[in-house]
Amino acid sequence: MVHQVLYRALVSTKWLADSVRTGKLGPGLRVLDASWYSPGTRDARKEYQERHVPGASFFDIEECRDTASPYEMMLPSEASFANYVGRLGISNQTHVVVYDGDNLGSFYAPRVWWMFRVFGHRTVSVLNGGFRNWLKEGHPVTSEPSHPEQAIFKATLDRSLLKTYEQVLENLESKRFQLVDSRSQGRYLGTEPEPDADQRLGSGHIRGSLNMPFMNFLTEDGFEKSPEDLRALFQDKKVDLSQPLIATCRKGVTACHIALAAYLCGKPDVAVYDGSWSEWFRRAPPETRVSQGKDGKA
């Protein structure tokens, strides 16, 4: 395992509230609301406009992605990411804090945390407990829009944190990386359908992958579990944190929870398969897809 000084992946609601209260938000500290919800459920942008952490900007993951890709949430180009976050007032010297409003505590925030890291930015943290606990603890909110001054951000893709379809396919034979899937057990097994997905997308998993549902990394109150508890979860699934690891899910979002949990255990080098099951189901040979469903391969 790589031994290095790791930037704090989590900040507390108290720390952020103190930073807001003492006027520390600005070019050196930016806050992003990265909420996203399934169509027809909640309107993330509308909720942001109604109330958000004072000074926070809205990070629209629908805009900051490869909109030309046939897959769901693929990374944008270096130039597109740099331009997008620069307009949010973020430079390479900015400490970025990301949260979302999901009832679980965090859902999309770890994806944005990983996006910054994969584009070479290390000073990024997730708000532990999310907006759910920010509200519960009575911290201030506002409806005032944020108008940060544009900054210059230089993005440099760190390919060690990103895996492609071809690399995961090769790994089925080489087995150089452990492959861990963060979806629910039913979707992993193929006994439950993929939610709000293209109806042609069946459920199941990549042959040889292990299952660690991302919800298990969070407490009932929506906070990240302790490093000791997270290590125990990895050990229980026989995932060796001293060895290379690829995280996958349906569209490269909750896989980032695996990367975050491993980071909190001192492992900063987990790679995410960006296309994940959404791409794998459409491209991979049928014998590499495992499902207990009626249309799958047992």
Contacts for 2 with CB less than 8 Å, ≥ 6 apart: 267, 268, 269
User: What domains appear along the chain, each with residue ranges and CATH number?
Assistant: 10-137 (3.40.250.10), 162-290 (3.40.250.10)
Exposed e or buried b per residue across 101-131, where buried means at least 16 C-beta atoms within 10 angstroms of its C-beta? bbeebbbbbbbbbbbbbbbbbebbbbbbbbb
The pair of structure tokens assigned to 281 is 């189901």
Q: What is the pLDDT along the chain (298 residues), one digit of tens a residue?
A: 344 567 999 999 999 999 999 999 999 999 999 999 988 899 999 999 999 999 999 999 999 998 899 888 899 999 999 999 999 999 999 999 999 999 999 999 999 999 999 999 999 999 999 999 999 999 999 999 999 999 999 999 999 999 999 999 999 999 999 999 999 999 999 999 998 766 678 899 999 999 999 999 999 999 999 999 999 999 999 999 999 999 999 999 999 999 999 999 999 999 999 999 999 999 999 999 999 875 544 4
Query: Quick check: is 249 catalytic?
Result: yes
**Separation CA 155–CA 77 (nearest Å):** 9
- 167-216, pLDDT tens digit by residue? 999 999 999 999 999 999 999 999 999 987 666 788 999 999 999 999 99
- Which of 64, 249, 256, 265 is flagged as catalytic? 249
Summarize pLDDT for 252-282 with one digit per residue, the tens: 999 999 999 999 999 999 999 999 999 999 9
What pLDDT shows up at residue 2? Answer: 41
Residue 3, pLDDT score:
44
Give the C-alpha distances (Å, rounded to integers) separating 174 from 70, 167, 170, 245, 255: 28, 10, 6, 13, 21
> How far apart (Å, rounded) are the C-alpha atoms in residues 296 and 104?
30
**What pTM was estimated for this model as a whole?**
0.95
- In the chain the first and final C-alpha atoms are separated, in Å, by 35
